[in-house]
Amino acid sequence: MTRPQAILTDIEGTTSSISFVKDVLFPYARRAMPAYVQEHGGHPQVRHWLNQVAD
């Protein structure tokens, strides 16, 4: 197994305000995710997590 390149933590209300997450980060993710999945969806690690969501 390879070492992780990033660790996602729960930042809502911890490192930033809840409104920032709701008003900025969520809309960004909604806009950026389709293109990311289209471009990287064939990558084994991305495919793994897409399959987890689809189940």
Q: Which residue has the higher pLDDT, 55 or 44?
A: 44
Domain assignment present for residue 37? The answer is: yes
- The yes-or-no verdict on residue 8 having pLDDT over 80 is no
| Three-class DSSP labels, the chain | CCCCCCCCCCCECCCECHHHHHHHHHHHHHHHHHHHHHHHCCCHHHHHHHHHHHC
Q: Is the pLDDT of residue 34 over 80?
A: yes
The domain total for the chain is: 1
Distance CA 14, CA 46 (A): 27
Range of the domain at 31: 18-54
Please indicate, yes or no, if residue 11 is contained in any of the structural domains: no
**For residue 55, what pLDDT is reported?**
66
Position 6 in a domain: no
Report the predicted TM-score, pTM, of the whole model to 2 decimal places.
0.62
In a domain, 4, yes or no: no
**Average of per-residue pLDDT values in the chain:** 86
| Residues 6+ away with beta carbon under 8 Å from 13 | 21
